[in-house]
Amino acid sequence: MIQVRFLIAERSKKLQTFLTALFKSFSFNPELIKTAQTPADALTIATRHAPDFLVTDWFRGEALDGIELFRKISALNPKCQFGLLSADVDAEQIALANSAGALFLLTKPCTGAQLRSEIGKAFKLLAIRNPAIDAHVSAHAAAAARHLATLKAATQLPTFAEGETVLYRGRAVSIQYVILRKGQMMVKLHASKALVSASELSRA
């Protein structure tokens, strides 16, 4: 597995779970993925975890917001990169995020497809900006192959989206959510307990 330390600072447990599963699908070591619901807890974790990649809510109005959290973590790991999530993005936030070097700023609620797209692009930049990570991936050919295949799939968004009605085995069903697993786009249908490949679906 690829050894990259992640930290997810996000109030929503559901979003934490989704991002954790997404990182795992890129063949990253799940033991190195940490989560926190507050910026203070995230900073406490970071003091012993020193993440390479931070995904954080903006935490607007908090004494320690998302950008300041990143700056404090950067003092622990200067090569750390980060992405931001916010429920109310405005021009000022965009300017601040760009100035701080955020790899992305996504407006919540965001779709699984949007998250996969931005995370996929961010991972490419993460490897470029942190040679140690790039060297680790290159030294492990099998992991690198899976990693690159997954990155390619992540940047080629599926044609189906959450809530869309599709045909599956001749029946019209609704998509509950779409995920990426081992480089393959999978969907959870409201009418099915198991995940199915997006290749088995067609337009209703």
| Tokens 């997810």 sit on residue | 8
99 with 53, same domain: the answer is: yes
- The residue range of the domain holding 72 is 6-155
Q: Which two tokens stand for residue 96?
A: 């601040």
Number of domains in the chain: 2
pTM for the model stands at: 0.64
Query: Is 1 part of any domain?
Result: no
Would you give the distance in Å from CA 13 to the centre of its chain? 14
The pLDDT tens digits for 109-164 are: 888 888 888 888 887 777 777 666 665 555 544 554 555 555 555 445 456 777 88
Q: What angle do CA 118, 134, 56 make, to 5 degrees?
A: 35
Neighbour tally for 164: CB within 10 Å? 15
Q: Do 52 and 80 have their domain in common?
A: yes
pLDDT in tens, 24-82: 877 788 899 999 999 999 999 999 999 999 999 999 888 899 999 999 999 999 989 99
